[in-house]
Amino acid sequence: MTAFRRLVRPKVEAQAQQLAFIIPTLVLFMLLSGCTTEQEQPEQQEATPPLVTSSVASPETEPFTLRGSGFVQATEKINVVAEVSGRVVEVNPKLSPGKRIAAGEVLFAIDDRTYRAELARAEAAVASAKVSVDKAARERARQQQLVESGATSQRALDNASIEFAASEAQLQQAQANLTLAQKRLEDTRVMSPFDAEVIVDNVTVGAFVSVGASVAELFDVNAVELLVGLPQRDADLVLAHRQRVADNDKALFATISKEQVTFGQQARLVDVEPQIERATRTVTLRFSLSALFNQQADTALFLGDYLHADMPVMLNKPLFSAAEGVVRKNAFVYTITGQQSKTLKKVAVTPLKRRDGRVFFTGEQSLANTPLLLSGLVQESNGMAVTIQAPSKAQ
């Protein structure tokens, strides 16, 4: 028994020594791990509201206009062609692109000597045919008297009547030839059918022109228009104002400008296309530019010019303007409200136009002198806290 105890005791003592080393080591490792975890945890900090810029909504009291643009075009345009052939002996000095020619003014003339000779022959033929008719008429009358007295047969009267009818037909043919000769002589002098401006000329003195040859292209300065396409919403505002002025027996006029030149309030709204243009989704308004063209001796406008038309509109809501960037998604703005802590409030607006870095818009509620969010934030929401810089009306 004593021998067994001697053998066991050394083994137990060795295990106890090992445990005495391992346990403190584990405790120290756990303490060190706990310290490291606590050190790696960041301290909780309060989120600072983003610093933003703003723009004050300014009330607009000036008469409001919407701008549309389009190209000048002519509703009446003709291609001048020669109706008789011959050599050109005269060309109007004003028959040049951009020049004006009055209605009835000669554009160019063709050598008319041949056509005057044709007219003289036609006049002689008519005179001869008239003599033949008179002679046949007298013969028919004589045969009629002879038939009534029984001195000749009905056949002789019938032959005289046939001769008279034939002579009358010849007279009619001669008169038709005379009319044609007169027309051909007149066609040697080509005249402008209306007050025109020259687009193209293709004739010179000495040139030979053939029938049907194109010699010039003109357009009627009394039939010049500007087509302007507007979104449906903008067109409705213009048409509402048009109805208001029509109630006072007036017409709606737009102010026309080209680049840096303003021609004044000369374009009259004459028509509205009944259907929306499918490609552009716009309503087409047709303005007459005739008054503007007629007031220009040497007009500064040409077909194909790109013009701007500023159209008066009728607004039934208050109008404001602010820096262009305040409108979000073309539908709303964020006002910045609160005395101490500032928060965002989403407000629906209707933008109407942008000009010189500012946007003009209407809204259901008054936004006069209200700061609007100008900065673009990654996240924007109703009630979001912000820190605002001092608003400036210049923004």
Q: Which of 225, 232, 236, 240 is nearest to 276 (CA)?
A: 232
- Beta-bridge mates of residue 147: none
CA distances from 350 to 47, 329, 367, 380 (A): 34, 11, 13, 20
Q: What is the dihedral of CA 319, 320, 325, 328, to 10 degrees?
A: -50
pLDDT of residue 270: 92
pLDDT at 130: 95
Instruction: Please list, in sequence order, all residues whose beta carbon lies within 8 angstroms of the beta carbon of residue 15, skipping any fewer than 6 positions away.
Output: none
- Give me the pLDDT at residue 333, please: 95
> For residue 7, what pLDDT is reported?
44
Q: What are the E-state strand segments in 95-247?
A: 100-101, 106-110, 189-191, 196-201, 208-209, 214-220, 224-230
pLDDT for residue 3: 46
Q: What residues in the chain have per-residue pLDDT under 70?
A: 1-46, 295-299, 390-395
Integer-rounded Cα Rg, in Å, for the chain is 48
**Which positions ≥6 away from 338 have C-beta within 8 Å?**
none
Structure-token pair, residue 360: 């003009």
Q: How many CA atoms lie within 13 A of 150 on its CB side?
A: 0
Classify 68 as helix, strand or coil: strand
Residue 114: Cβ within 10 Å count:
15
Per-residue pLDDT, 201: 92
pLDDT of residue 38: 46
CB contact at 8 A, 353 and 38:
no
Q: Which residues of 34-54 are buried (b: 16+ CB within 10 A; e: fewer)?
A: eeeeeeeeeeeeeeeeeebbb
